[in-house]
Chains A and B, each alone.
Chain A
Amino acid sequence: GENVGLHLPTLSVQEGDNSIINCAYSNSASDYFIWYKQESGKGPQFIIDIRSNMDKRQGQRVTVLLNKTVKHLSLQIAATQPGDSAVYFCAENHFSGGYNKLIFGAGTRLAVHP
């Protein structure tokens, strides 16, 4: 691969366990957040999003929690599978200079072990 996630923190979990990936965001005015998954050699793929007027949103096997008080976002993956192994990035929407822009967090590598 292209060493995606080589220098990023790693979360190691057993197959079947639940995973929780955390993200601290920077801008208290951010109004929209997304979690992306990036597999080796590929571009980021959308997982789930949440607007700032919500504190929880659920998808298939994934849940995103938003705590605006402490500017914290988390991604919960239920019954983690080997195919979930990837780097996960949170992104926050900034409105600046007349544009909405997505700014990415540092990322976490998820390693799923059988």
Chain B
Amino acid sequence: SAVISQKPSRDICQRGTSLTIQCQVDSQVTMMFWYRQQPGQSLTLIATANQGSEATYESGFVIDKFPISRPNLTFSTLTVSNMSPEDSSIYLCSDKITGIGELFFGEGSRLTVL
């Protein structure tokens, strides 16, 4: 399995600001994904981070709000833009070695927006 490190692990942010979360994997992986977990809820897929091209977003998520980069096979970033209290969530980076298989998760980045 690939070990995933996320930064920051937690942050408190002001309304209207933006925050970029970094995800580093310790080995090359084929696919990386970003999930959101709102308080007390399950995980919702935000987007698939594609290496060298634009991310593929799920319904309800748009690039202007959640721009994603993946410059290489081991690194991705998710920005939460123009934050509001409704964006307070855990944001989780995950990766996969093969097409069909388990996802490995980082510990998540816990954002609180005031």
Contacts and interface: CB of A to CB of B under 8 A. Distances in A.
Counting contact residues on chain A (CB < 8 A from B), the size range is 20 to 34
Given A99-B48, A100-B99, A101-B48, A42 B107 contact: yes
Interface stretch (A12-20, A61-69, A78-86, A103-111): A103-111
Q: DSSP majority for the B interface?
A: strand
A101 B41 contact: no
A82 B48 CA distance: 35
A46 B104 contact: yes
A102 B42 contact: no
B63 interface: no
B39 A43 contact: no
Contacts of A8: 40-42
Given A99-B48, A101-B33, A106 B105 contact: no
